[in-house]
Amino acid sequence: MVLEAGVMVWSQVTDLPFSLYSTFVIEARHGFNKQTIWLFFRDMFKGICLAILLGPPIVAAIIIIVQKGGPYLAIYLWAFMFALSIVMMTVYPILIAPLFNKFTPLPEGELREKIEKLAASLKFPLKKLFVVDGSTRSSHSNAYMYGFFKNKRIVLYDTLIQQCKNEEVVAVIAHELGHWKLNHTVFSFIAVQILTFMQFGGYTLVRNSSDLYLSFGFKTQPVLIGLIIFQHTVIPIQHLVSFGLNLVSRAFEFQADAFGKKLGYGKALRAGLVKLQEENLSAMNTDPWYSAYHYSHPPLVERLAALEDLESKKED
């Protein structure tokens, strides 16, 4: 526990100059930063409090599971993480996200009507439609959805609504709903579960190897150290996996774009994507090797070309 707290305090202290520089120098230089230094430290303080509140019980639970796990340890650890992620997915939007941002229902009007109509036409169980005050911190814009089964919510950044026309916002949501309709969200969730299980499986195989601990200078075998060492040893594999996942994710982006296009939002989606790219000052001309490895989303030019391609095919 002391070790964990020490690592956390140390990383907070060493990261601080970098995150201050990133927010108040780099982001500010490009006109994105909208937050005050007071807000920055308030967020940091809340984050630390949450970590103090949530961290120790979770780590303690993992250590107990490892100590009592036996041969089926991987299954128990996976089951614990699965339950934890379900709890966090439920609790996060209700209790944690509101600590940092203000969520207000999207007011009645044209935009709300259009989004509700779109959701109804796809049988998307839209329960709540929020606007989040992203603009108090930065002018980066976005939209996302979350929730289980019949209880879905869509969150729009207020910056997105300010930057785009209604039709373009709806087109961006049509793209997001494409991810849902085409089961991309389910796929990602299952992929993460399988990867988590494999990782714990690997850990179970080596956790009693004294060589592993010795090679890092540990004569005893503390549970937490074993987990941390294992985490670090599999980093090369994790890079391969994330490369694979990025490949899949980029294919999904094209599919979701095509889905939006099929619903008749091709033109608005293209306009919306261009605007978001401009407003967020994203790189326009990325190196193909760099983007193939690092990007979960295809470069804008490729997405626009694919959308135009679909459109011209329809005219033939």
Binding site for Zn(2+), residues? 175, 179, 253
Nearer to Zn ion, 16 or 186 (CB): 186
- Residue 6 one-letter amino acid: G
- Active site members: 176, 257
Least separation in angstroms between residue 148's CB and Zn ion is 20
CB of 276 to Zn ion, least distance (A): 11
Q: Which of 56, 45, 147, 57 is nearest to 94 (CA)?
A: 147
Nearer to Zn ion, 158 or 253 (CB): 253
Tokens of 50: 């949450």
Residue 148 class from Cβ within 10 Å (0-12 exposed, 13-18 middle, 19+ buried)? exposed
Residues facing 26 on adjacent strands: none
Bridge partners of 144?
155
**Cα–chain center distance at 118:** 24
* Closer residue to Zn ion (CB): 77 or 273: 273
Instruction: Report the binding-site residues.
Output: 175, 179, 253
For residue 5, give every residue at least 6 positions away whose Cβ sits within 8 Å of its Cβ, in sequence order, or none: none
Strand partners, 138: 33
Sorted by sequence, the CB contacts under 8 Å of residue 98 that are 6+ apart come out as none
| ∠ CA 137-268-258, rounded to 5° | 100
Distances (CA, A) of 121 to 93, 161, 184, 235: 26, 22, 19, 44
With CB under 5 A as the rule, give the number of residues binding Zn ion: 2
User: Closest approach of Cβ 256 to Zn ion, in Å?
Assistant: 5
CB 172, min distance to Zn ion, A: 9
Cβ closest to Zn ion, residue 27 vs residue 253: 253
Residues from 200 through 259 that contact Zn ion (CB under 5 A):
253, 256
248-307: contacts with Zn ion (CB under 5 A): 253, 256
Shortest approach of Zn ion to residue 179 CB, angstroms?
A: 6
| Paired tokens of 20 | 């201050």
**Residue 193: which residues within 8 A CB-CB, separation 6 or more?**
78, 82
Q: Three-class SS of residue 246?
A: helix
Q: Quick one: 114 or 297, whose CB is closer to Zn ion?
A: 297
Which residues would be at the binding site for Zn ion (CB under 5 A)? Answer: 253, 256
